[in-house]
Amino acid sequence: MTRSTIIRTGLVALMLICATSVSAEPLAGTTGDAAGDRWQSSWLDLKAPMSFRKDERLLIKVEGNAENVLVRLLPSGSSPSSSDGIEGTTRRVPAGGVLDVKLERDHPNVKQISVHAGREAWGRPLGGNNGTVKVVSIEHRRQ
């Protein structure tokens, strides 16, 4: 094998590794929570608005006793009391408390990521005995 063949092979291997690697970043911001008679939510207000693309992942670490939750990526310009930006349907909280959310669509200009628990969220039932949830951290994974 010649030196140039070895170099070309190494460069191709490096390009393949870079193309298939996943970059992950913890999201910076301020957490908060609120509750009403039948609902409860916890969120991360992002330090700066971000855009998220279809098929990217959010790993949302939560605490609490909720079994079912809704996840929302609230667009800038939308009220926190709106259901704008709900991602997918009701999700079951896994035993380890990390929601692995694969985005089903693009979410441009997001200012807040929230998780909703309690008995219902915007009229969507989550379970009569469903508990509460608290966002601990969120990691963004790009493919």
What are the boundaries of each domain within the chain?
A: 22-142
CA–CA separation, 48 and 34 (whole Å): 21
Per-residue pLDDT band for 23 (boundaries 50, 70, 90) equals: confident
Tens of pLDDT, residue by residue over 112-143, are 999 999 999 999 999 999 999 999 999 999 97
> pLDDT tens digits, residue range 26-70?
999 999 999 999 999 999 999 999 999 999 999 999 999 999 999
Arithmetic mean of pLDDT, 1-19: 54
The residue assigned the tokens 């909720």 is: 66
Strand ranges (DSSP E) for the chain? 23-26, 29-35, 39-52, 57-64, 68-75, 86-92, 98-102, 107-118, 120-121, 124-125, 133-142
Residue holding tokens 């959010």? 58
Residue 9, phi-psi category: left (phi > 0), alpha (psi -120 to 50), beta (remainder): alpha
CATH of 22-142, one of 2.60.200, 2.40.50, 2.60.120, 2.60.40: 2.60.120
Q: Kindly tell me the sign of the dihedral angle through the C-alpha atoms of 100, 114, 82, 117.
A: positive
- 22 pLDDT band (50/70/90 cuts)? low
